Amino acid sequence: MSIHIVALGNEGDAFHQDNRPSGLIRTYLGRSPLVSGDESSLLLNATSTVARPVFTEYQASAFGNVKLVVHDCPVWDIFDSDWYTSRNLIGSADIIVIKYNVNDKFSFHEVKDNYIPVIKRALNSVPVIIAAVGTRQNEDLPCTCPLCTSDRGSCVTTTEGIQLAKELGATYLELHSLDDFYIGKYFGGVLEYFMIQALNQKTSEKMKKRKMSSSFHGIRPPQLEQPEKMPVLKAEASHYNSDLNNLLFCCQCVDVVFYNPDLKEAAEAHKIVLCAVSHVFMLLFNVKSPADIQDSSIIRTTQDLFVINRDPAFPGAGQESPGNPPLRVVVKDAHFCSCLSDILRFIYSGAFQWEELEEDIRRKLKDSGDVSNVIEKVKCILKTPGKINCLRNCKTYQSRKPLWFYNTSLKFFLNKPMLADVVFEIQGTTVPAHRAILVARCEVMAAMFNGNYMEAKSVLIPVYGVSKETFLSFLEYLYTDSCCPAGIFQAMCLLICAEMYQVSRLQHICELFIITQLQSMPSRELASMNLDIVDLLKKAKFHHSECLSTWLLHFIATNYLIFSQKPEFQDLSVEERSFVEKHRWPSNMYLKQLAEYRKYIHSRKCRCLVM
């Protein structure tokens, strides 16, 4: 195997030693430890050519047994004298080196104007190295006066060299001297890297040709078919915002009632939802103190806009249900109160539709000053403490995410006693929660808290068959519409809990998590893991997870060689076993053909062509 290098251009004679021809290529071949052959043989190869050769040829051995052929052409006139030979040598080159002296602009322009166009036409994915040789004699900036007739710099600048390299997609090197560092490590390192790349490419092409040309007249290796495609699990769309929006209209679990200045009922709401999006309501309902918020505008808005009425002589107070009646809040601003239903609908829908809210307020309030005043109060209600005006551009602000993600969000109240009106007892511990969120997000709990059940009138509710960690993950999904199980086992427990409370989207999330975890496991991990995949399959079937059970059957069949060796494989039912055997991969037929092929290869009658 050989490597062909073509070097073009004249790097000057500033580094000649002992009156012998010495240049970049000549010096590298004489000093590189990877190139074998003494200087006399190199010189003989360089001079034993016909008169006025197109190229000076050097021959040596690199990397032990690789033939290295270098053709060096320093002068364009000689190159152009035999165009046919020149073009063929460039076309067959594995690496092209372009060199010039930084103190000789003539050599640079000869390279740029003559060699480069030829190389561009003949270049075919061949690496190019541009070597700028020498130390610049005059580093001062040349005169730029248009009347100055002096040379505008006799040195070739770095910028000119880099620009030339960009035109060819080449590697640019500056070699200040032809010593061991610049030649052996700097230039030699780059050149040897491209030499190794060329060897790898030639080896790869040689192997491809060998495979194409070799004919195998015995038993051909069996073709392994692709495994069957796994069932696609489609995720269910989120209905988080619609659930909370419906809570406003169903009037279940109401714990706050707003009144206008004339003490007439204006709207009903839920403390937990209001506090999740507004520090004004957190301050009003004593979830946070003024010292916690430390924002004078929020404190002033709370005091100027709302007042809590606990007067037992309040109109309609006698008709309130005993136990824990809703909190009565009087809205001091009549204009704000007239738009309160629209503002609450805006808040409960996730604070998405700001433009619609503005239109609703303008429709009810004709005066532009009143409209502006109400809108500013809404902005202050939704404000984050410490920020000047987080809703200055509300159209842009509201178009990215619902407000639950910008303020405290419902996760702030998860497993917290603040505003809690129900407590779950699990494994000897208690978990506080909020009926309004549970009713809005879970139909089973909505029926449980509003029907003729014991839980409807009880504050402490026992939970059986579920661990505390699993139930907290279940509540986290109800509050935040997201969950992150710690592993496959916890995801399966959460799926069972979701099936018990009929939360279908959470079931799909757990199914997708289990599938993703199993798919990401390498074969070695699948073989060594302690997880009982058959038990997982039976649990998925028992809890009506049809998508997961079908996927697990395909997964067992696709990884047949792994799971068939496990003891739990025998626990598959007759129907499941039949399905796995039918869809197994690799198939039984392929394994038989593979055994026959291996037997043939290792027999004395056949020898492997490759080995």
**CB neighbour list of residue 563: distance below 8 Å, 6 or more residues apart:** 526, 533, 534, 556, 569
Amino acid sitting at position 393: N
* Structure tokens that stand for 528 in this block: 């060594």
pLDDT of residue 218: 59
The distance from CA 375 to its chain's CA centroid, rounded to whole angstroms, is: 39
Q: How many CB atoms lie within 10 A of CB 513?
A: 20
Say if CB 348 and CB 245 are below 8 A apart.
Answer: yes
CATH code 2.120.10 for 251-312+324-382: no
pLDDT of residue 18: 42
Say if CB 172 and CB 130 are below 8 A apart.
Answer: yes
CATH code 3.40.720.10 for 409-500: no
* Separation of alpha carbons 488 and 32, rounded Å: 59
Instruction: Establish whether domains 2-44+52-137+155-209 and 409-500 are of one fold.
Output: no
pLDDT of residue 351: 66
Q: What is the DSSP secondary structure assignment for residue 82, as one 8-state letter?
A: T
Residue-wise pLDDT tens digits, 555-592: 999 999 999 999 999 999 999 999 999 999 999 899 99
pLDDT of residue 46: 45
- Class of residue 352 by CB neighbours under 10 A (exposed 0-12, middle 13-18, buried 19+): middle
CATH number of 2-44+52-137+155-209: 3.40.50.300
Q: How many CB atoms lie within 10 A of CB 164?
A: 20
Say if CB 381 and CB 337 are below 8 A apart.
Answer: no
Say if CB 437 and CB 429 are below 8 A apart.
Answer: no
Q: Minimal CA–CA distance to 94: which of 129, 61, 118?
A: 129
Q: How many CB atoms lie within 10 A of CB 228?
A: 12
**CB neighbour list of residue 203: distance below 8 Å, 6 or more residues apart:** 1
Residue 61, strand partner residues? 36, 67
* Separation of alpha carbons 553 and 572, rounded Å: 10
Cis peptide before 586 (omega within 30 of 0): yes
pLDDT of residue 414: 93
Helix (H, G, I), strand (E, B) or coil at 45: helix
pLDDT of residue 223: 86
Domain boundary assignment for the chain: 2-44+52-137+155-209, 251-312+324-382, 409-500, 521-610
Say if CB 101 and CB 133 are below 8 A apart.
Answer: yes
pLDDT of residue 15: 43
pLDDT of residue 562: 93
pLDDT under 50: residue ranges of the chain: 14-21, 38-41, 43-52, 146-151, 215-216, 391-393, 395-408, 610-611
Buried b (16+ CB within 10 A) or exposed e, 241-278: bebbbebbeeebbbbbbbbbeeeeebbbbbbbbbbbbb
* Separation of alpha carbons 175 and 519, rounded Å: 53
Say if CB 365 and CB 359 are below 8 A apart.
Answer: no
Say if CB 171 and CB 165 are below 8 A apart.
Answer: yes
Q: Minimal CA–CA distance to 478: which of 424, 437, 421?
A: 437
* Separation of alpha carbons 168 and 261, rounded Å: 80
**CB neighbour list of residue 552: distance below 8 Å, 6 or more residues apart:** 533, 536, 537, 540
Q: Which helix (H) or strand (E) holds 67?
A: strand 66-73
pLDDT of residue 145: 53
pLDDT of residue 407: 35
pLDDT of residue 148: 47
* Structure tokens that stand for 550 in this block: 């079908």
DSSP conformation letters of 187-234? IHHHHHHHHHHHHHHHHHHHHHHHHHH----SPPPPPPPPPPPPPPPP
